[in-house]
Structure 1
Amino acid sequence: MQVAPQAEPRRRRAGRVLLVDAAERVLLFQGSDPHRPGTRYWFTPGGGLDDGETTAQAAARELFEETGLAVPAERLGGPVHSEVTSFSFAGVAYRQEQDFYLVRVPHWSVDTSGFDEVERAWVHTHRWWSAAELRGTGEVYYPADLVEVLRGAGVGEC
């Protein structure tokens, strides 16, 4: 029996946002993969770079598209965390280099009307999480070390 060779993961750069409110809670979206619809996970706003974008520009654009919050890229400052992660979505393997930017708001009512077709289909809900809730949950969230990332960014009681 022959085994099909593994395809090289698709390389991708992304800008992500740690959106934190006055109660020191971080916004996460819950989604699933079309190839594994029963498996749900939580993740930060953000996404891949469009041609010519920096990670800050992508983070600002994605933040607006996914939450309705407009923050100019130059106001994001530098990334508070960077990592390389591997994942698959819809049967495509990715190796993603991503930068996280901290954005603080007193309060924000999330507006998902800017979601694209894939997001409308595979992002199910959102909620604000405290560090204590993240530490105590059995649910899957990314990055897996989010509590430590928030602590390193100077977020509250993490």
Structure 2
Amino acid sequence: MRIRKSARILLINQNLEILLFKFSHKADALAGQSYWATIGGGVETGETFQQAACRELLEETGLNINDVGPCITTRSFEMQLPSSETVIADEQFFVVFIKDHQIKEERWTEHEKQVIKQQRWWCLRQLKNTQETVFPDNIPQILSHHFPDIFKV
């Protein structure tokens, strides 16, 4: 099974909220699935995880950041892609703090335009109490573990 490397970004605003996108699949192999997920995507040939994180931030939010800092956590799991291919996802997570930013969608791919239905800033309390599907499902624990002085679970 192919390993798909991916960079994920926990984008945190001045109110200590994290930006998530709501994906709703209608016409691909994941049709009928709906979930919230972090910014990010696959690492392209020749890229590091950090370079992919910077590129994904630019493509998905319009933020041009040259350094996302070190990876704070990883996860690996089997997943199905919208193309129907099943892969082993190898994800590295980065945290980026911003003051204020209007999300720009002009660099979204056609597929992103079709499946990203909403964007929302979530506080940790909302994430802990939601009944909706969120990936990864342990964002509050990740942030409170790595930033205990800022985030309390």
TM-score normalised according to structure 2 size:
0.90
Letter in 1 for 2:115: W
Q: Distance in 1 between matches of 2:120 and 2:58?
A: 17
1:157 is aligned to 2:152? yes
Deviation string, structure 1 residues 80-133 (Cα, Å, up to 9, x no partner): 111112211221212111111110011221111111111111111110000000
Q: Tell me the equivalent position of 1:38.
A: 32
What aligned pairs does 1:1-158 form with structure 2 within 5 A after superposition? 8=1, 10-33=2-25, 34-72=28-66, 75-90=67-82, 91-154=84-147, 155-158=150-153
Q: Secondary structure of the residue that 1:138 maps to in structure 2?
A: coil
- 1:16–1:44 CA contact under 8 A, matched in 2: yes
Q: Distance in 2 between matches of 1:35 and 1:77?
A: 34
Unaligned 5+ runs, structure 1? 1-7
Q: Distance in 2 between matches of 1:152 and 1:101?
A: 14
Q: Secondary structure of the residue that 2:32 maps to in structure 1?
A: strand
Q: Secondary structure of the residue that 1:38 maps to in structure 2?
A: coil
Q: Secondary structure of the residue that 2:57 maps to in structure 1?
A: helix
Q: CA deviation at 1:54?
A: 0.3
Letter in 1 for 2:110: E
Unaligned 5+ runs, structure 2? none
Q: CA deviation at 1:146?
A: 1.4
Q: CA deviation at 1:35?
A: 2.8
Q: Distance in 2 between matches of 1:78 and 1:101?
A: 7
| RMSD value, Cα | 1.3
- 1:102–1:153 CA contact under 8 A, matched in 2: no
Which runs of 4 or more aligned residues in structure 1 lie more than 6 Å from their structure 2 counterparts after TM superposition? none
Q: CA deviation at 1:16?
A: 1.1
Q: Secondary structure of the residue that 1:108 maps to in structure 2?
A: coil
Q: Secondary structure of the residue that 1:110 maps to in structure 2?
A: coil
Q: CA deviation at 1:79?
A: 0.5
